[in-house]
């Protein structure tokens, strides 16, 4: 299953590079220092150019680190998107350190920011399942259930919540999780 519509918003699963997504806002899989890194973070900073890095640095200087489960929004530099939401997912420490709640919160906080900024389309990567080692089967269920629950209980400007998944294994885990939620 690759789409599910809740109220007037469609959750859509796609495969590819998030940097190429034509949406109002890209969600970055950031770290607490907004320091850049590999994976999604590296790709977004590389394509977006130094403006994003400068904006991240300003946020950290003002408010300190962005805690796991939180998110902040910046301009998108050279990217076609209007802005970038930098969401910090949990590092996987075995599952007994509030990883599930923290991962859900990273998605919810991102959806709140997109809604507060009146954005109509957002693209998420699979937060925390790369360098942060969150098990994919659990993370995909949490990601999609959190988005579905948010759409059921909140008014939002969002018409599309897209997941841009990088490889077949990740796409299939999300497709299975979406089918469970939609059934
Ligand atoms: N587009 C879409 N998905 C991607 C892309 C891309 N261009 N590149 C990788 N993925 P990760 P995390 C997938 O590591 O686990 C960074 O160094 C990847 O295959 O980007 O939240 C940050 O600075 C995986 O499925 O994010 C942080 O320190 C998923 O995106 C830390 O890694 C997430 O992988 C964050 O780790």
Q: Which of 40, 135, 139, 166 to mutate to test the pocket of ligand 1 (most atoms within 8 A of CB)?
A: 40
ipTM: 0.99
> Which of 42, 108, 119 shows the shortest CA–CA distance to 81?
119
Residue 1 has pLDDT above 90, yes or no: no
Atom of ligand 1 nearest to the CA of 136: 25
**Rounded to 5°, angle at Cα 48 from 47 and 50:** 115
Class of domain 6-182: alpha beta
Name which of 88, 67, 145, 81 is nearest 114 in CA terms: 81
Q: What pLDDT is attached to residue 183?
A: 77
pTM of the model: 0.98
Please report which confidence band the pLDDT of residue 182 belongs to, taking 50, 70 and 90 as the band edges.
confident
Q: In what order do the strands lie in the sheet with 9-15?
A: 3-6, 9-15, 160-165, 121-124, 25-30, 83-88, 71-75
The pLDDT tens digits of the residues spanning 113-129 come to 999 999 999 999 999 99
| Domains in the chain: boundaries | 6-182
């Amino acid at each position: 299953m690759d789409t599910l519509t809740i109220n007037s918003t469609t959750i859509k699963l796609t495969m590819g590079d998030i940097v190429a997504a034509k949406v109002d806002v890209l969600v970055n899989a950031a770290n607490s220092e907004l320091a850049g890194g590999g994976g999604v973070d590296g790709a977004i900073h590389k394509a977006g150019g130094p403006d994003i890095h400068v904006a991240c640095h300003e946020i950290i200087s003002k408010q300190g680190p962005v805690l796991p489960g939180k998110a902040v929004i910046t301009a998108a530099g050279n990217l076609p998107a209007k802005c970038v939401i930098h969401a910090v997912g949990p590092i996987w420490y075995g599952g007994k350190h509030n990883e599930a709640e923290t991962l859900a919160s990273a998605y919810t906080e991102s959806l709140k920011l997109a809604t507060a900024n009146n954005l109509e389309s957002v693209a998420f990567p699979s937060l925390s399942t790369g360098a942060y080692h969150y098990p994919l089967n659990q993370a995909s269920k949490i990601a999609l259930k959190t988005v579905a629950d948010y759409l059921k209980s909140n008014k939002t400007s969002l018409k599309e919540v897209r997941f841009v998944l990088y490889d077949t294994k990740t796409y299939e885990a999300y497709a299975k999780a979406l089918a469970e939620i939609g059934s």
